[in-house]
Amino acid sequence: MIAYIVRRLLLTIPIIWGVLTLIFLLIRVVPGDPAVAALGDYASKEAIEAYRHKMGLDAPLWLQYLRYLESVCRGDLGRSLINDAPVSYQVASALPYTLELTLAGISIGIILGVPLGILSAIHRNAALDYFCRAFSLAGLSVPAFYLGILLILLFSVYLPLFPSVGGGGFSDPLDNLRHLFLPALTLGLIMTAFTARVSRSAMLNILSEDYIRTARAKGLPEQFVLYRHALRNALIPIVTVVGIYTVVLIGSSVMTEIVFTRPGLGKMLVGAMKNRDYNTLQSLMIIYTCIVVLVNLITDIVYALVDPRVSYE
């Protein structure tokens, strides 16, 4: 198991290096000058050149790239080109809000989606199955930002139960949960629809296998057959697809944070793009890259635990 994890970690090194290189190049080919964005359109040419020299933007591209890789290896995210504040401090204050939103959305999607998919497969072509299929189709069709707006209208305007903006404070857990409910429900319902659809398909495929009919023919209890034999084998595609969709959910959290005006990496990312803040934009994309790589690593490990056919050697 340890050797399996180590090999997976080693495989992430060239992936991260390739993504970092792509991020560095893409940011610098986008039109616009960060010095002009920081100083304003009416800044003098001398002031702009001095600012570019201070931030190292006048150096050759290859030298900027080497400095960029060196700072990343040292864990130094640099300073913002707009306010000259350390990017690491801004990330440290925003990252917890993004992580709690993503984890809450994933939890809702798994807790609701897997049971709905199982029930839909068990009661195939019944009223419950039609409801779950319609719910899944609607969840896959509605964008996250539009669903967020609908939830705000329902639970904040017509039924003023939850706040629609802000993220609350971690010093007050109840207030934090109240601010987290609507954005987490937005992401959770979409992931619920996706997970339920995959769970239903996986269970239907497993329930038609010969060993399921054999287990029933032996007189085993139906609950034992469903959860000990069918669900265990159905978890293989479910875990795989949930891991893939988690990456999509991380991207959807950006738009959700904007809709609910939540502090988080999404708000920082949009601000850095508007202001042409190279350092902040690079750092945020590095953080997102590391999160995606970590999610894929966890998915591989869980997949190996669920499926004994995956070899650790």
* Span 45-62, pLDDT tens digits: 777 778 777 767 777 878
> Using an 8 Å Cβ cutoff, are 304 and 296 in contact?
no
Check pLDDT > 80 for residue 274.
Answer: no
53: phi then psi, degrees, rounded to nearest 5 = -70, -40
The structural architecture, per CATH, of the domain 91-306 is Orthogonal Bundle (1.10)
- What is the value of pTM for the model shown? 0.79
Coil, helix or strand at residue 76: coil
CATH 1.10.3720.10 residue ranges in the chain? 91-306
Dihedral angle of Cα 229, 212, 245, 188, to the nearest 10 degrees? -70
Rounded to the nearest integer, the mean pLDDT of the chain is 81
> Using an 8 Å Cβ cutoff, are 116 and 192 in contact?
yes
> Using an 8 Å Cβ cutoff, are 81 and 94 in contact?
no
Q: Per mean pLDDT, which range of 81-90, 106-115, 193-202 is the poorest?
A: 81-90
pLDDT for res 31: 65
pLDDT for res 296: 82
| pLDDT-based confidence at residue 128 (cuts at 50, 70, 90) | confident
| pLDDT-based confidence at residue 288 (cuts at 50, 70, 90) | confident
pLDDT for res 306: 74
d(CA 280, CA 86): 9
| pLDDT-based confidence at residue 291 (cuts at 50, 70, 90) | confident
How many Cα atoms are found within 13 Å in the side-chain-facing hemisphere of 141? Answer: 6
CB atoms within 10 A of CB 191: 26
Look up tokens 């009416």; give the residue: 42
What does the angle CA 182 – CA 195 – CA 187 come to, to the nearest 5 degrees?
Answer: 20
Give the rounded percent of residues in the chain with a pLDDT score beyond 70.
Answer: 93
| pLDDT-based confidence at residue 210 (cuts at 50, 70, 90) | confident
